[in-house]
Structure 1
Amino acid sequence: MFRLPFLFIITGLISFTLFQLFSLFDFATWLTVFGDEPRYPTGWFRVHLLVLGWATMIAMGAMYQLIPVVLQNHRLFSEKLGFVHYGFFAVGTAGLLFGFQSMQVMWIAGFATVAFIGVLLFAINIGVTLIRARKWNTITVSVACSVAYLVLAGTSGMLMGLNFYFEQWGDFHEQLLGAHICFAAFGWFGLLITGFSYKMLPMFYLSHGHSETLQKVVIACWNAGVLVGALSFLFNGPGWVKWSGLLLVVLAMLTYSFHLSQIVKHRHKPNPGVGMKWSLSLAHSLTLIGIIIVIISPFTPDIMAQSRMAVVLGWLYLWGWVGLTLLSYLSKIVPFLWWTHKYGPLIGKKKIPTMSDLIDDRRVHIGLSVIGTSLFMLMVGLSWNQPWMTSIGGSLLSLSSLFYISLIANVFTK
């Protein structure tokens, strides 16, 4: 039962390492991929290596392990289908990345379709598991919605890949891109993280007795925001409609942030681990940034429309919340899985290490702190068009990320 999630997680760790190494040895990347011109072959390659090769791989692996736990040990529909899904998604992602890097439109179109088949197999596996279990709550509904958005993101991504080859849609390609980003970034990752947080935080904080009413508000507002935003891009809606979608997501984030505070208030464990504390702080920080953006964007439409600002805000969300939250959760998920796999059967038979022995929380805190500081430096450099600060911040981000991911990988040697 552990081979399948480990396969995805290890592949994700390798992709993350490759992304950081490519970035570290190419200072110019921070001025192009993360600057004014992110939309060119190397930029597409780097973004999809991080988002598909790392974040989505990690999320899929974690979901294969956590869904049976959420469903109270209800078995996954098909572990074999999970391995088939891995094959299609891994091959499709690798081919797509090669197509972006070499700008081979036939590879982009073909392997985008292969990756999409992998997404469909994943959706079928998770969907049938949820339907058979018949345990619908805010966690399983959030998961179901996130997987649905992954399918929509995969559909739009595949269509864009095919359009690279056939070149039939003209400006509609740009509209499709906006919807693709909404479905993937806000729909897939947003609802996945918020949904599993309702399980992760109470589990590690030993929190009981808190109300779950606000979780329903989060789901409703978040779905409404994603749909309004995606449809406004798809049908080229006016700016105020896009702003309305953002407002709904920020309202959802504000409710989510407040609810996490409720969970912590009902805790029975004072120290859940550094990773959980960081995930909480990240949620509060994103909420504050979102509120500021919603307030100032109507008064600064020209600034908000600049490609540089879109890149900065996009990376703040993807790196600052999605990325750092996944890294925070990995510091708990990987030791938990490895300890259960390796030492669970030995309980009561011999002396075994505790879960906290597998990873040093102090180093986790140092790693996340340096990553966060480096990311801030990178964003300031991009915002103020300071190449030296951008390069230094990006390089420090890569180095600190490599240090952190080595802490996670080292768990497998314990």
Structure 2
Amino acid sequence: MMGAALSRWTMASFAAALAFLIGALVLMVAGYGFPATDIRAPQTLVVVHMVTIGWLSLLLVGALFQFVPVLVAKPLLHEGLVLPSLLALIGGLACLLCGFLHLAAGDGAAVPLLALAAILLPAGFALALFALGATLWSARPLPLPARFVAVGLASLAAVAAFGALFSLALAGFVSVPVLLDLHAAGIPVHAAAGFGGWLTFTAIGVSYRLLPMFMLAPDHERATGRVVLYAGGGALFAAALAAPAEALFSGTQFAFLAAGILALVALAAYAADLSFFYRMRKRRVVELNSKAALGAFGGLYLSALLLLALWATGGIAAHAGALVYLVAFGWLTGLGLSQLYKIVPFLTWLECYGPVMGRKPTPRVQDLVVERRDGAWFALYFLSVLAGTAALLADMPALFRLASVATLMATLAIGAELVLVRRLVNVNTAMRLPEGATRPRLFLPRRGRTPSMGAAR
């Protein structure tokens, strides 16, 4: 950790990501998109991509720019690509969302917007992949968490390629029959590579570093971690590539069955590692971010159980929306919000108090938040997501909107707490700004030398 520079644009990525999450929840409360419309309708695509690209992908990209150097103990290479990547992603997503809106309205403005999105979004991801990939390549052989991230980044490349193809097809620019066939068959690959590869593999890899770091648990590589990597990688390959190809050419489902078995093995090994981290921690009191993460892990395992139940009953097609919702909000968003609750105070502490550490009295990282006040919001968040999932399974859109109101309230409250953290509102006045410390800006970086990550306690 010592000496790793703070990424200048991480907070901006987090702020943009939270804005897209809140916007998506507002649309869900208003009844826009699924379940009021078809799961593949343009209105639903607006909400889906606000969550998957605007919230989850911006969150992960911003976090990786900060934590990949920590994972491999190397500085981030090509740091100048970070801001162009962020701007291209936000601009490309704006074009994509506007294109979907015009597609829903049935006017011709969708064509240039979708075509521009097919350029900007892959370009933004390519810049991020180049910087992160070069950093990982320079640090070979990679530690276990970084290997998960490498698989996630490879999946992101596939997701971006298929996404560009979809945008061009919707805009009418793709007319080659083989490409149209690839587009028609590529949606399962796009979803599996996105949720299973890019988002889940990356989240698991980051969790293998963040959980031990924040709970002071042993972080040495374990055999179970390698089982998660290899079995999960096999499941990803089978689900994203082998199963669609098998269904297309033979109509059988052996690859899907193999993917399920490998995924269960990976989940069992991951559960063993999570139990190890919590049991062997040196930090006696479990902080709220680690408690809330348990809700996210519960969402992951509930998603697996729901998938098994739907597969056994033949209800995957009918209830795909509920499954995707539980994965996106119960597992991925739950983990993202829980870790932001620690990452933002941690980085804020380093930015503000790192320069005077050891020379002036400083607060602890925990002093930047008020856990007793915020625990209820995390409880409301996970309970509302469970209620929303149940409403989708029961085909009760009115109840789903009501549950979304509670999810939105909880998310707004957690977001407001992060703003208070950045403004140092919760810190005792006597210790808030000792001589030599500087109040951090809300989400834009300050000019001058980038501070380094030290040993915050």
TM-score, normalised relative to structure 1:
0.92
> Contact (CA 8 Å) 2:193, 2:240: kept in 1 or not?
yes
Q: 1:304 matched to which residue of 2?
A: 316
Q: 1:363 matched to which residue of 2?
A: 373
- C-alpha distance after superposition, 1:166-216 (max 9, x if no partner): 353555423211101111110011111111111111111211276611111
With 84-93 and 13-22 compared, the bigger mean Cα shift is at 13-22
> Contact (CA 8 Å) 1:8, 1:57: kept in 2 or not?
yes
CA distance change for structure 1 residues 375 and 35 in 2, over 3 Å: closer, same or farther?
A: farther
CA distance change for structure 1 residues 71 and 14 in 2, over 3 Å: closer, same or farther?
A: same
Q: 1:332 matched to which residue of 2?
A: 342
Alpha-carbon distance between aligned partners in 2 of 1:84 and 1:166, rounded to the nearest angstrom: 26
CA distance change for structure 1 residues 162 and 292 in 2, over 3 Å: closer, same or farther?
A: closer
Q: 1:218 matched to which residue of 2?
A: 228
> Contact (CA 8 Å) 1:87, 1:118: kept in 2 or not?
yes
Structure 2 residue identity aligned to 1:150: L
Do structure 1's residue 283 and structure 2's residue 297 form an aligned pair? yes
Q: 2:138 matched to which residue of 1?
A: 132
- C-alpha distance after superposition, 1:36-63 (max 9, x if no partner): 6121122111111111111111111111
Structure 2 residue identity aligned to 1:145: V
The Cα of 1:291 is off from its aligned counterpart by: 4.1
Alpha-carbon distance between aligned partners in 2 of 1:364 and 1:108, rounded to the nearest angstrom: 40
> Contact (CA 8 Å) 2:71, 2:143: kept in 1 or not?
no
Q: 1:63 matched to which residue of 2?
A: 64
The Cα of 1:84 is off from its aligned counterpart by: 1.9
Do structure 1's residue 403 and structure 2's residue 413 form an aligned pair? yes
Q: 2:106 matched to which residue of 1?
A: none
1:313-392 matches, cutoff 5 A: 313-392=323-402
Q: 1:19 matched to which residue of 2?
A: 24
Alpha-carbon distance between aligned partners in 2 of 1:21 and 1:289, rounded to the nearest angstrom: 24
Do structure 1's residue 33 and structure 2's residue 34 form an aligned pair? yes
Q: 2:162 matched to which residue of 1?
A: 156
Structure 2 residue ranges without an equivalent (≥5)? 1-5, 104-109, 425-457
CA distance change for structure 1 residues 396 and 56 in 2, over 3 Å: closer, same or farther?
A: same
- C-alpha distance after superposition, 1:127-166 (max 9, x if no partner): 1111112241111111111111011100111111111123
The Cα of 1:277 is off from its aligned counterpart by: 2.2
The Cα of 1:369 is off from its aligned counterpart by: 0.8
Alpha-carbon distance between aligned partners in 2 of 1:383 and 1:128, rounded to the nearest angstrom: 44
Q: 1:267 matched to which residue of 2?
A: 281
Equivalent position to 1:177, from 187, 191, 207: 187
Secondary structure of 1:77's counterpart equals coil
> Contact (CA 8 Å) 1:229, 1:245: kept in 2 or not?
yes
Equivalent position to 1:166, from 167, 173, 186: 173
- C-alpha distance after superposition, 1:30-89 (max 9, x if no partner): xx42466121122111111111111111111111111122222x2100111112222222
1:85-104 matches, cutoff 5 A: 85-103=85-103, 104=110
> Contact (CA 8 Å) 1:178, 1:234: kept in 2 or not?
no
With 248-257 and 13-22 compared, the bigger mean Cα shift is at 13-22
Structure 1 residue ranges without an equivalent (≥5)? none
Q: 1:5 matched to which residue of 2?
A: 10
Structure number with the higher helix fraction is 1
Structure 1 residue identity aligned to 2:123: I
The Cα of 1:344 is off from its aligned counterpart by: 0.9
Secondary structure of 2:9's counterpart equals helix
Q: RMSD across aligned C-alpha pairs, in angstroms?
A: 2.0
- C-alpha distance after superposition, 1:210-264 (max 9, x if no partner): 6611111101111111111111225644344324323322321221111111122
Alpha-carbon distance between aligned partners in 1 of 2:203 and 2:129, rounded to the nearest angstrom: 17
Structure 2 residue identity aligned to 1:279: A
Q: 2:436 matched to which residue of 1?
A: none
Q: How many residues align?
A: 405
Alpha-carbon distance between aligned partners in 2 of 1:288 and 1:381, rounded to the nearest angstrom: 15
The Cα of 1:9 is off from its aligned counterpart by: 1.4
> Contact (CA 8 Å) 1:228, 1:244: kept in 2 or not?
yes
CA distance change for structure 1 residues 398 and 111 in 2, over 3 Å: closer, same or farther?
A: same
Alpha-carbon distance between aligned partners in 2 of 1:170 and 1:314, rounded to the nearest angstrom: 25
Q: 2:152 matched to which residue of 1?
A: 146
Q: 1:44 matched to which residue of 2?
A: 45
Secondary structure of 1:385's counterpart equals coil
Structure 2 residue identity aligned to 1:100: F
Structure 2 residue identity aligned to 1:151: A
Identity %: 25
CA distance change for structure 1 residues 95 and 134 in 2, over 3 Å: closer, same or farther?
A: same
- C-alpha distance after superposition, 1:114-137 (max 9, x if no partner): 110111111110111111122411
CA distance change for structure 1 residues 297 and 318 in 2, over 3 Å: closer, same or farther?
A: same
The Cα of 1:355 is off from its aligned counterpart by: 1.1
CA distance change for structure 1 residues 113 and 236 in 2, over 3 Å: closer, same or farther?
A: farther
Structure 2 residue identity aligned to 1:83: L
Structure 1 residue identity aligned to 2:83: F
Moved over 4 A (4+): none
> Contact (CA 8 Å) 1:210, 1:263: kept in 2 or not?
no
> Contact (CA 8 Å) 2:307, 2:323: kept in 1 or not?
no
Q: Which has the larger radius of gyration?
A: 2
CA distance change for structure 1 residues 324 and 235 in 2, over 3 Å: closer, same or farther?
A: same
Secondary structure of 1:11's counterpart equals helix
CA distance change for structure 1 residues 188 and 12 in 2, over 3 Å: closer, same or farther?
A: same
CA distance change for structure 1 residues 87 and 6 in 2, over 3 Å: closer, same or farther?
A: same
